[in-house]
Amino acid sequence: VKKFLVKVKPNARENSLRQFQDGTWIAEVKAPPKDGKANRAVIELIAKQFKVT
């Protein structure tokens, strides 16, 4: 199990996942923070980044 800090920015122009030198990740997602939509988008981004299905 790997743990890391992810800061989420919903309502972004595009979906992206970036890592900073301090180990923090920024997830920008197009989805709004409503009804779990942004959370699902973040999960999909992280899964794609780490090649998890």
The full DSSP string for the chain is -----EEEE-S-SS-EEEE-TTS-EEEE-SS-SSTTHHHHHHHHHHHHHTT--
Task: Identify the pLDDT of residue 38.
Answer: 98
User: ∠ CA(19), CA(23), CA(29), 5° rounding?
Assistant: 35
- Strands 16-19 and 25-28, by their bridges, are antiparallel
pLDDT tens for the chain, 53 residues long, are 888 899 999 999 999 999 999 999 999 999 999 999 999 999 999 999 999 97
Task: Identify the pLDDT of residue 2.
Answer: 81
Task: Identify the pLDDT of residue 1.
Answer: 81
Task: Identify the pLDDT of residue 27.
Answer: 98
Cα–Cα distances (Å) from 53 to 6, 9, 34, 48, in that order, read: 19, 23, 24, 8
**pTM, rounded to two decimals:** 0.86
